[in-house]
Amino acid sequence: MISIEGLSKFFTSNKNKITAVDDLTLDINEGEIFGVIGYSGAGKSTFVRLLNRLEEPSAGKIVIDEQEITAMNSNQLRIARQEIGMIFQHFNLLWSRTVKDNIAFPLEIAGVSRSKREERVQQLIDLVGLGGRENAYPSQLSGGQKQRVGIARALANNPKVLLCDEATSALDPETTNSILDLLVDINEKLGLTIILITHEMHVIRKICNQVAVMEEGKVVEQGDVLDVFLRPKQVVTKRFVEQVMGTNEEDDGVAYLIDIYERGKLIRLHFVGETTNQALISQVAKKFAIEINILQGKITQTQAGAYGTLFVQVDGESNEIDKAVEFITNETSVELEVVRDVDGTIS
């Protein structure tokens, strides 16, 4: 659906060359919700603005639905943009227009007749849950309602792709969840490809199928959301995952727990999908002559299933501990990592 090859963007400031996006290559499948995450300055917002050429690329190639966006002249690009909707962090609504007139604006520009505009606007108002607010002005709306207007407006011309640039970062957590639920609903009903830019890992966790992690203009890690949660490779990715899971052994809380237990093995267990429902702790405690102390843990949901991490201390005779570790490793689908061994060695 979307193919990006060698995409770069350079800026010049005080005669210094600044690289915002650096030789980025990605493929995004049709109909998926693809997340791009990074801290401020990572280049993610510049990247998403390059896709519809709100920013002009310095190098590289963008193909959307077999159309090479980077090769288009201004007239061709104007037509192509009708199939690429975009929503923004700060809504970008026309404050002198009502809800329905804001939504109708792209249709006016496209030359759609009044009767067809009115029909389409009403469809979109119903889709985003703004019934009864058609004649309200942006100043009379909550943040979540404003973003729903922005989403409806972005969908006015039946786009194939929806770009979301920090679409929920100006909203409170409850409103954020309602907007994310709406995006999932739109994705399922319309088969829309959504590219979502964010610096919040819980947004990625909640609705994305795939995620790319950006740092210093590059994609440093990419994959299925569940795989990235389970096996983050880069330091920046681990930091994002820890935002959601809160199970970093370097944090003060876990470090304290590690320090006070001086015997046995300290183990981190990774649960994925159906394994999160297994009664593993009680099963192992009954099967082997060991004691298990649960130190810290959390289970969270992703679009692909549940993911959980549990820190435990296992105490007892060393041969019984080794048997329990071997059993978990070889006889279950739970992944096991020894954080500290009986001799105090940190893994």
H/E run at residue 106 = helix 99-109
User: 């600044």: which residue's tokens?
Assistant: 18
Give the pLDDT of residue 270: 79
Q: Select from 243, 271, 298 the last residue of a domain.
A: 243
pLDDT at 262: 62
Are 228 and 252 within one domain?
Answer: no
Tell me the two tokens of residue 164.
């979301």
7-24: pLDDT as tens digits: 999 998 888 889 999 999
Mean pLDDT of 145-155: 96
Instruction: Express as a percent the part of the chain with pLDDT over 70.
Output: 90
Q: Three-state SS for 217?
A: coil
Between 82 and 252, residue with greater pLDDT = 82
The answer to whether 121 and 102 are in contact (CB under 8 A) is no
Task: Give the contacts of 230 (CB within 8 A, at least 6 positions apart).
Answer: 270, 272, 307, 335
Sequence-separated (6 or more) residues with CB below 8 Å from residue 257: 295, 296, 311, 313
Last residue of a domain, one of 243, 259, 278: 243
Q: Which of these ranges, 153-162, 265-274, 299-308, has the smallest mean pLDDT? A: 299-308
Q: Are residues 276 and 299 in the same domain?
A: yes
Residues 199-215: tens digit of each pLDDT = 988 899 889 999 999 99
Which two structure tokens, joined as six digits, stand for 160?
A: 């194939």
- Average pLDDT, rounded, for the chain: 88
Q: How do residues 247-295 score in pLDDT, each as one tens digit? A: 554 454 555 555 665 678 888 887 776 555 567 888 898 999 999 988 8
State the CB neighbour count (10 A cutoff) for residue 317. Answer: 12
- 8 A C-beta contact, residue 279 and residue 262: no
Strands (DSSP E) contained in the chain are: 2-13, 16-28, 33-37, 59-64, 67-68, 84-87, 161-165, 193-198, 210-215, 218-224, 265-272, 290-302, 305-316, 335-340
Same domain, 12 and 150: yes
Cα dihedral: 339, 341, 343, 347 (round 10): -40
pLDDT digits (tens, 9 = 90+) for 41-67: 999 999 999 999 999 999 999 999 999
Length of the chain: 347
195 shares its domain with 53: yes
Residue 300 CB: number of other CB atoms within 10 A?
A: 18
Chain centroid to Cα 221, Å, comes to 13
Distance of CA 278 to the CA centre of its chain: 27
Q: Which range of residues forms the domain containing residue 273? A: 246-340
CATH number of domain containing 99? 3.40.50.300
Q: Are residues 197 and 77 in the same domain?
A: yes
pLDDT of residue 249: 47
Number of domains the chain contains: 2
Residue 245: pLDDT band with limits 50, 70, 90: low
pLDDT of residue 259: 61
What's this model's pTM, rounded to 2 decimal places? 0.80
121/99 same-domain check: yes
Question: Does residue 26 carry a pLDDT above 80?
Answer: yes
**What pLDDT band is residue 332 in, cutting at 50, 70 and 90?**
confident
- Give the single-character DSSP code of 153: H
Task: Specify if 180 maps to a domain.
Answer: yes
21/166 same-domain check: yes
**Residue 345 in domain:** no
Asked if residue 229 and residue 273 are part of one domain, the reply reads no
How far apart CA 127 and CA 59 sit, in angstroms, is: 38
Q: pLDDT band at 345, cuts 50/70/90? A: very low
Closest C-alpha among 176, 180, 153 to residue 92? 153
Question: Among the three residues 212, 243, 274, which one is the final residue of a domain in this structure?
Answer: 243
pLDDT(324) > 50: yes
What's the start-to-end Cα distance of the chain, in Å? Answer: 43
**Is-contact 95 138, C-beta < 8 A?**
yes
Residue 25 has pLDDT above 50, yes or no: yes
